[in-house]
Amino acid sequence: MGLLIDGLIIVFYFVAIVTIGLRLGRREDSLHDFALGGRRVPWWAVMASIIAAETSAATFLGAPGEGYDKRSLAYVQLVFGLIIGRVIVGNVFLKPYYQYKVYTVYDYLGVRFGPVSKNYVSGLFLVMRTLASGARLFVPSLVMVLAWQLFVGGNRVQFSQQAVTSVGPYLIAIIALTIVTCIYTALGGIKAVIWTDVIQACLMFGGALIAAATLLYHVGGFGAVAREVPQMTQLRGYFITGFEPEFVTKWQTDNNLSGMNLWEYIKLILASEYTVFSALIGTTLGNMAAFGTDQDMVQRMLTAETHQKARRSLITAAFMDVPIAAIFTFIGILLYVFYQQDPRFKPTANSDVFGSYILNVMPVGIRGLVLAGVFATAMGSLSAALNALATSATNDWYLPRRPGLPEAHYVRAARFFTLLFSVLMIAVAGGFAYAKVTHPDVRIIPVVLGIAGFILGPMLGVFMVGMFTKNRGSDRGNVIAVTLGLIATVVMGDLHTSSTALRRFWVSAACSSAQTGCPKSRSPGSP
Amino acid sequence: MIGSLVVFAVAVLFKTPPEIIEAAGRKAEEADRGESKPLAMRPQGA
């Protein structure tokens, strides 16, 4: 009976989200409506949509794993860089986008440099976003398969990336999630995406709060947390500079050093995870790239009436990320305490701790709600990607080659592209699931997960030339520069190694959503 | 994010052709005056 209630909650969520998406996204007569919502979307809805889009299912399940692993809220300090990056984007990047009334950010490159720059970068975006968002579907499909096994079998399930050993169930889950999302995205356009994002953001944050409250109840309150994780009563439970004695000692030991000089301190900063320096350098640049140059994120900002309102949405969303990152990381700390007390369902991998708790421990009803929250985060990210891809394909590629047709024709084209990219994402996600099941160490896995980080960096470079100079940069120069930038990223990144594939899976996937940035040492996978 | 720095360092060496800068100015004025249509559907296109 309990499992039936959870199942019904999830089914109700799916039906409700499609219905609401379709109703709110009616009357899309032009590309202006389909892609920009007529530029009449309230700033707070845009803000909620940014939060929903930047938080993937991998963040929902992976960020608690980080809190569990580090038993510290230091992960949250990455948000400092996130705020700085978005303040720069809000004050420098958004105004030109509104000045030229662009439909995609790549329109700006066309105006500023010429059509070659626009097409090159837009093409990179289409490839990058299809691969990155397709690969991201793996996590919610895993949750869906395991939830199905739980509901049908009625037994406890082992939550791990290796729990499902055949591709078939993954494919069914991937297709189901993508079809539902495609329906309301294709028919409702950006308005449907944004308004369902508002609901999904509430469900995601509400689900996290409920999970934290349930965990606090299970472990016996804050007193138990302070006893099991004493550093939560000290500063270092919240803030890490990277120069703490144990980090310096470990660095010296790992590198066979007898002492530290300036250069070694610089290398230590560059290699440190979750320090204030990671926040200031890595997440600042990462967020500038994600929120200034990735149509997936920028598109919703272009639906606000003015660039000032778009800026308000962006920066407010950044500040909202502080409690969001804190709650997800704190859930990880609570899970550590919980599994100390009751290790029955403790999974092997730290990254699986939240998923195992949701499926095996959460009370009936609440489990259904939190699972709906997982699917909500996945669909919020997916719908954003589909809409951005369809808009870019229509505006940047189709329209310039078929000009002069009625507005309704371009809306139909955008709907066709939404469907096309849905099919492509199913193919990418299916291929990714196949690789995970049959060859979990295969080299392509970290490459696909990190593709956004590899391509967004060079893309950011072009936009920086346009935004920070008045008469520098040209079509020819940009093609040379971006090609060199891609080569440099590949050579200096982790593409030539495969040994870290599994270790990096969850964090890279979580960071690919750009929500709380990524440590520099993993920057090829960020954002 | 090394890619962004490499691209910036290389791309900044090239000068934007003056006609592109002039056209960008015109497009900003047109966008300010006209309704919001895709750039490729505006009188001078992108």
ipTM: 0.93
Residue among A143, A145, A136 at smallest CA distance from A432: A136
Cβ–Cβ contact B22 with A under 8 A: no
How far apart, in whole angstroms, are the C-alpha atoms of residue A500 and residue A505? 9
Cβ-Cβ contacts under 8 Å, B18 against chain A: 471
Phi-psi region of A242 (alpha: psi -120 to 50; beta: other; left: phi over 0): left
pLDDT at residue A154 in the model: 66
**Residue A462 with chain B: CB contacts under 8 Å:** 7, 11
Any B CB within 8 A of A472 CB: yes
Nearest to A128 by CA among A504, A480, A451: A451
A402 in contact with B, Cβ within 8 Å: no
pLDDT of the residue at A160: 67
B2 vs chain A: nearest CA distance in angstroms?
A: 6
DSSP state of A138: H
pLDDT score recorded for residue A307: 95
| CB nearest A99 (choices: B5, B13, B31) | B31
Residue A236 pLDDT: 75
Per the DSSP assignment, residues forming a β-bridge with B15 are: A472
Q: Collapsing DSSP states into helix, strand and coil, what is residue A472?
A: strand
Q: Give the minimum alpha-carbon distance from A227 to chain B in angstroms, rounded to a whole number.
A: 40
**Alpha carbon of B45: minimum distance to chain A alpha carbons (Å):** 8
Which residues in chain A land under pLDDT 70? 1-2, 25-26, 154-156, 159-163, 273-274, 440-449, 493-527
- The reported pTM is 0.84
Task: Return the ∠ at Cα A503 (arms to A204 and A342), rounded to 5°.
Answer: 60
Chain length of chain A:
527
CB A66, CB A75: distance < 8 Å = yes
CA distances from A172 to A143, A158, A177 (A): 12, 20, 9
User: What is the predicted pLDDT for the residue at A355?
Assistant: 84
pLDDT at B7: 95
Contact B46 A488 (CB under 8 A): no
pLDDT of residue A52: 83
- Predicted local distance difference test score (pLDDT) of residue A505: 39
Q: Which pLDDT does position A514 carry in this prediction? A: 39
pLDDT at A138: 82
Q: Is residue A289 within 8 angstroms of chain B, CB to CB?
A: yes
**Does residue A492 sit at the B interface (CB-CB below 8 Å)?**
yes
The whole-angstrom distance between B8's CA and the closest CA on chain A is 5
Interface-testing mutation among A36, A84, A101, with chain B (most B C-beta atoms within 10 A): A101
| DSSP summary character for residue B17 | P
Do residues A29 and A35 lie in contact, with contact meaning Cβ atoms separated by under 8 Å?
no
Q: Are A384 and A300 in contact (CB under 8 A)?
A: yes
- What is the C-alpha to C-alpha distance for residues A375 and A268, in angstroms, rounded to an integer? 38
Strand partners, A472: B15
The residue written with tokens 């469900």 in the block is: A203
Comparing B13 with A10, which gets the higher pLDDT? Answer: B13
Task: Please give the pLDDT value at position A516.
Answer: 36
Cβ–Cβ below 8 Å for B20 and A112:
yes
Verify cis geometry, omega within 30 degrees of 0, for the bond prior to A96: no
Question: Comparing C-alpha atoms, which of A14, A22, A81 is closest to residue A290?
Answer: A81
What token pair was written down for A191? 């308005």
Helices (H) and strands (E) in chain B, counts: 2, 0
B44 touches chain A (CB under 8 A): no
Torsion angle of alpha carbons A282, A284, A285, A291, nearest 10°?
130
Interface check A398 vs B, CB under 8 A: no
Instruction: Please tell me the predicted confidence (pLDDT) of residue A161.
Output: 65
Contact B1 A460 (CB under 8 A): yes
Q: Which of A476, A478, A475 is nearest to A461 (CA)?
A: A478
CB contact under 8 A, B46 and A103: no
Q: Does B26 touch chain A (CB under 8 A)?
A: no
Considering CB atoms only, which of A289, A400, A461 is closest to B11? A461
C-alpha dihedral, A27 to A30 to A32 to A34, nearest 10°: 50
Q: Does A149 touch chain B (CB under 8 A)?
A: no
**Chain A hits for B36, Cβ within 8 Å:** 32, 36, 39, 101
